[in-house]
Structure 1
């Protein structure tokens, strides 16, 4: 095996894995948009994570009640560089959750735009573009 084929195979594997990640995120957001149940949640806290460069990322953590009475604590998968203005612990906010996986949530009032058609289509286009790039790499390599 030549170094070119090895590098091409590694490049294809990397773009392929990223493409699969995009595809799963598109499916998760589509499922939330189509089947998601809206309810009211209480903002419990913001979990903070610090990046290598020292900049913080804030992840909202909420508590809400499922129709069967079970209390669910869930964290938004998307972080923001700063807490939304005016939001504090104890606030009531809207949450959209997947009934098949209640920990998969979206917080439209705190993290707007995560379920917009344009954002989902953009992620889908990125997935298709990466799939095409992977195909090109494999076609040129092998």
Structure 2
């Protein structure tokens, strides 16, 4: 006695959890970088509200060198500038950003922005001093977040793989997916015991899970499913309440008549 449905049988193994783990880690890094960028922007805006501008002069270029893991060296230059307060006191400050090529030369006159309450808290005007850090962190955060979104989208699709070439059985946007098996529920006792297969699918767009259950089976299907991790189910992935049909044609029910068949019955609703 065989249980059949109208769909074809093809079992696919669900994907690895690695994309979800990697995506979650990248998302945390991306969010952290974006928060750092936001803090840098907030700090710059706050500083500008209290800062005073004046002219300054570059008096030195600090040279620093470093080597990468391949042994190649690189050199950057950081400006040192001075400016005078209204009472005539001279303040000497190192720039906050090193670059190559250098941003300026010794002797150049530059505009300086400083905090009147803390004159040593000063910076040269311009993009590099004002917005470079915020732009760098924001750009890196955006890249990490986009990569994380792709990885999480892949992980969401890994749990249920659409089978090409399967025609919808009940109009609409019905499609066939290999949905991971998650459990087996028993009802009744003794000779009246029935078994119900359970499979869970997660919408890769909304993340909302959906539980599918088979029609009650008069026998234990586990011995015939030891190598299986998923079962084919036909449903509309865009409608969480769409009807669905679970393909159980791989099961062979025990009985005296091996040629007899039992139809699963009408399409079930989620």
Give the alignment's TM-score, normalised by structure 2: 0.36
Q: Which runs of 5+ in 1 are unaligned?
A: none
After superposition, the CA RMSD in angstroms is: 4.1
- For 1:35 and 1:57, the matched residues in 2 are separated by 31
**Structure 1 residue 73: deviation in Å?**
3.1
When you count strand as a share of all residues, which structure comes out higher? 2
**TM-score under structure 1 length normalisation:** 0.60
Contact 2:19 2:151 in 1 (8 A): no
How far is 1:107 from its partner? Answer: 1.7
Instruction: State the structure with more CA Rg.
Output: 2
Note if 1:21 corresponds to 2:36. Answer: yes
- DSSP 3-state at the match of 1:55: strand
- Cα distance in 1, alignment partners of residues 144 and 87 from structure 2: 45
**Equivalent position to 1:130, from 142, 147, 158:** 142
Give 1 or 2: higher helix fraction. 1
Q: In structure 2, which of residues 114, 117, 138 is the aligned counterpart of residue 97 of structure 1? A: 114
* 8 Å contact from structure 1 (residues 31, 98) kept in 2: no
Matches within 5 A, 1:53-92: 53-66=72-85, 72-84=91-103, 87-88=105-106, 92=109
Query: Where does residue 23 of structure 2 map in the other structure?
Result: 8
Secondary structure of 2:60's aligned partner: strand
Quick one: higher RCO (CA 8 Å, sep 6+), 1 or 2?
A: 1
Instruction: State the SS of the aligned residue for 2:99.
Output: coil
